[in-house]
Structure 1
Amino acid sequence: MKKRKLISLILLCTIALTGCWDKIEIDERSFVLSLGVDKAPEEAGSPNKYLLTFVNPDTAKAEEGKVLDFVTYDTVAASYNAGVANLLQRFSKVHSYDHTKVLILGEELLKNADLVKDILDAFGRGHQFNSSMLVYMTTGKAADIFKIRPKMRSLLAYYITGIADNEKLVARIGSSTFLEFTKQLADNNGDAVIPDLSPSADGLTTQYLGIMKDYKHTGHLNEIETVAYKWLNGKAKGGVIEISNNTCSYPFTYFTFKRRINLDKVEKGKIYLTYNLETEGSMEEYTIASSLMDEEKLKEFEKKLENIIEMDCKDLIKKMQEEYAVDLLGVREYLYKYHTKLYKSIEKDFEEFFQRDVVINVKADVKIRRIGKSQ
């Protein structure tokens, strides 16, 4: 009797189990690890708008179970889905985007707001895409980035994500997910920053930020401005600030960086804000036979570091207000969240108000917590 009950229970359990009725074998899939989008070459009468580049691991060159090389395929089309359809006419495998890590946009594409809006909409609506994939721009063609072969043998997508992971140690490294990038565009009416990825002597490097205004690329922040942007937006995690004199450079390595915005006053139609920046870290390089145990010496270095942070940030604020005329400093977000009534009164003319009637002060507070081993 017990055996019959047990058998009946097992049979009932098997009924509840689901089967894989539409499976696709792994060797029938083509995994797209990276995507590149450029503006298509203009040809008379051609409807094509995009040059799409797909990067897949080259499984034919697998070594000891590892795939270290990749192959690229490209097509031109009027839309993303039309491009995929064109590509599948040459492919015997189903495209899979479960492991797509990187999306790279060419500079010429980013100069056309309509093309930018359309292609970002395609990636945003497409259920197959992961919103955590990294987004970069390049000053040349995205397709050219995929010609790079890093000295450290690796699939290019994982090489790029590895560089992005170092952002927690080096503030000038750029990193932005597709979700973060598109959210910034939506929150700022088409204004955003996008990390730049450029070829270097031994691979790729990222140390600049592109400026997007009204969904168009309008300029670049240099290395110093990129770091200041991260300080002012509370995005810096770690990095190095150098104090230089005529002969030597003394680096300060920070591990945390906090930003807090305060509304000081509203006076005569102007809004006065203060960005309070706090950081702490270590100075583990100095001059041999000299000591950093002197408290006055450390305070002197802290003051110099505060001056560097404040000056770099003020220079960027001036550039944002006067040259780019775009708020990428979090002013709109801060006022909307914490002073809604005030924001509503200037919302319609916010861009002009930001240029003319927002006064931003920067106050830095630096603490040197460690000085390395004593000699």
Structure 2
Amino acid sequence: MVPLFKKKNLKLIICLTLLFLTGCWDRTEVNNLALIMAAGIDKSKNNMIELSVQVFIPRPAESDQQNGMSSRTNSSQTFVRSAEGETIADAMARLQEVLTRRIFWGQNEVLVIGEELAKEGVSDQIDFWLRHSEPRIRADVFISKGRAKRVLESMPELERDSAKQLHELVKTQIGVKVTVKDLAQMLSGESDAAVLPWVEKLPAAHLGSNKRDTPFINGVAIFKGDKMVGRMDAKATRGILWPRNEMRSGVITLSLKNKTGYISLNLLRSQNELVPTITNGKWSMLIKTDTALEVIQNTTNLNLFQPEIIKEAEQRASQEIEDRERLAFSEAQKKLNADIFGFAEAFQREYPEVWKTKKNEWNEIFRQVDISFHTNVTIEKTGLATGKRNRGETQ
């Protein structure tokens, strides 16, 4: 038996705890929010900032009564609204005036900056994203050819909207992926340079019968300080990823000397290291690459189980990687003078005292840095087929 006074104390404690249970009195229903999926920033015609947002339209899923599976409506699930202001904050306040629901940034995964604005500088726009408590600093950042608003308005076929399209493209890890946080760190780093994915409209030849505007990533935009100074195509972009240690997936197709056909190699893993040296006033950088590949197609007559054939293929793959890196270095170092590879940080870590006295001269030093490569490629898997003539036979 529990004593009576203990029962009363227990009841009193339960009543007191109820006072601290707030419940959902201050909840905000999703139907009262304007869910922002993507944002675009442009320079307007009257020299103001134009903020465009892609707003999600909540809809219940439609059921297919015949097969019991849900299906999406053909109509768009998003719409785009824009407003102009002296700053992004000013534009956002004006945007709220034309939306009946409160702007909610919690779902925003994409930030697109228009080409014209990017050439003038993006530091003020990134400053807003970092200071404001609602926009996500993990949102992926892109630079668009032309106006960012046009990218938000595009309607891809496979994905729900352009925001989803761009977000999924960078998740494939075949190109550069940069968040707002990453961009802020690059702009404040010793290199004083940045690289961002470049977005264009997919050419009509790739669209088939449906000619919807579809955004795709075609290389990168190069920044010196906070201003866009140039861009590189998709091929040169590959040469950027290796030294930055950001190569996660990809296929290398090569041919061997005096042999017909091709061998396609898939990337399994890659580890890169920057090794800086300063000798007698000469600044040098060694790019060390250790890569593992697998054969995914062989259209030659060669037997890839022969060690000498594999060794030759590894040498050709190594040369292919270095050629791509040299192409990227040539454009970044000689043409744009933008250290997008993180050389400055590598020299700072290795030679902190020298860096203190030379950092203000980095723009001139970077142009003269001597670059060399040490690339080790290993083909770990060759598959079962021995060659085009012997396809289907196994060893």
Could you tell me the TM-score, scaled by structure 1's length?
0.90
Per-residue CA deviations over 1:196-217 (Å, capped at 9, x if unaligned) read 1222144322130101113111
Contact 1:209 1:222 in 2 (8 A): yes
In structure 1, what is the equivalent of residue 51 of structure 2? 52
- Structure 2 partner of 1:199: 201
More moved, 26-35 vs 306-315? 306-315
Letter in 1 for 2:234: E
What pairs up with 1:1-375 in 2 under 5 angstroms?
Answer: 1=4, 2-42=6-46, 49-59=48-58, 63-64=62-63, 69-113=77-121, 116-167=122-173, 170=174, 173-188=175-190, 190-200=192-202, 201-202=206-207, 203-244=214-255, 248-267=261-280, 269-287=281-299, 290-356=302-368, 358-374=369-385, 375=393
The corresponding residue for 1:45 is: none
**8 Å CA contact retained: 1:70, 1:156:** no
Change (3 A) 1:126 1:14: same
- Does the residue aligned with 1:196 lie in a helix, a strand or coil? strand
Conserved in 2, the CA contact under 8 Å of 1:75 and 1:83?
Answer: yes
Q: 1:223 to 1:99 in 2, by over 3 A?
A: same
Quick one: distance in 2 between partners of 1:76 and 1:62? 35
In the TM superposition, residue 362 of structure 1 has moved relative to its aligned partner by: 1.2
- Post-superposition CA distance 1:32-57 (Å, at most 9, x none): 11000111013xxxxx5112111011
Decide whether the 8 Å contact of 1:61 with 1:69 is kept in 2.
no
Q: Distance in 1 between matches of 2:290 and 2:320?
A: 13
Structure 1 unaligned residues grouped into runs of 5+: 43-47
The one-letter amino acid of 1:51's match is E
The separation in 2 between residues aligned to 1:191 and 1:157, in whole angstroms, is 26
In structure 1, distance between residues paired with 2:252 and 2:191: 33
**Matched residue SS, 1:31:** strand
Which one is further off, 234-243 or 283-292? 283-292
Q: CA RMSD in A?
A: 2.1
Unaligned runs of 5+ residues in structure 2 are: 64-69, 208-213, 386-392
SS at match of 1:146: helix
Sort the Cα spacing of 1:156 and 1:52 in 2 relative to 1 into closer, same or farther, 3 A: same
Counterpart contact for 2:276–2:346, Cα < 8 Å: no
SS in 1 for 2:296: coil
Give how far 1:311 is off: 2.1
Whole-angstrom CA distance in 1 between matches of 2:58 and 2:154: 19
Percent of aligned pairs with the same amino acid:
21
Q: What is the CA–CA distance in structure 1 between the aligned matches of 2:345 and 2:191, rounded to whole Å?
A: 12
Alpha-carbon deviations, 1:2-52, whole Å to 9, x = none? 54333222112212323445332221111111000111013xxxxx51121
Q: Which has the larger radius of gyration?
A: 2
- SS for the counterpart of 1:298 is helix
CA contact (8 A) 1:34 1:102 kept: yes
The normalised TM-score by structure 2 is 0.86
Cα 1:29–1:310 shift into 2, 3 Å: same
